[in-house]
Amino acid sequence: MLRSAVAGVGVVDAAGSPAALADLAVVGLPAAGRARLGPARLGQMVAAVAAQPDGWGGLVRFDAGRRWFRRLELAEDYEVWLLSWLPGQDTGFHDHGSASGAFAVAGGRIRERTVAGAGQVRHRTVARGTVRSFGARHVHDVVNAFAEPAITVHAYSPPLTAMRRYELTGSGLVHTATDHAERDW
Ligand SMILES: [Fe+2]
């Protein structure tokens, strides 16, 4: 039972409902404004949402066919997404267009891979309760490299419009494709 595997993070069996989304108000998301939010503020945001599973627990799904994700919040200057990860599911290397971002692990743990200038790959395990924040130039690969399902909360500012995909080669990261919001996710 996947649900029981992540029960410790407050995932509930109730069907997702508009009421569950309305609960997000309790985590104190800021009113929409024109200012671009920085990585630190985005980190605070995802930490607050991840710590309030009553607001989104009923929405979480796990999909063996493709990574599951759902947008929780869209404002003029930021957006918040909820993602789930079955063992082995991964993003591949990508950036976030011109957006800064942050993610918090709300259940399980995931592994982030980044590449240094010399092509050296760094592996970082991000455990439940941990937040990673990054600026617009960040490129990473995120994978659930573990045996248990994982849940993460992500925020971006401005809202994502495109993400470039990369392949890791012997000479470093090579841009291979660009995904566009509304068309590719
Ligand atoms: Fe990412």
In the chain, where the domains are located: 20-180
- Ligand 1 centre to CA of 158 (Å) is 14
| This prediction's pTM | 0.82
SS3 letters across 4-49: HHCHHHCCCCCCCCHHHHHHHHHHCCCCCCCCCCCHHHHHHHHHHH
- Ligand 1 centre to CA of 80 (Å) is 13
Q: Is the pLDDT of residue 136 over 90?
A: yes
Mean pLDDT value across the chain: 85
- Domain topology for 20-180: Jelly Rolls (2.60.120)
- Ligand 1 centre to CA of 13 (Å) is 28
- Ligand 1 centre to CA of 91 (Å) is 8
Q: Give the confidence band of 117 by pLDDT, cuts at 50, 70, 90.
A: confident
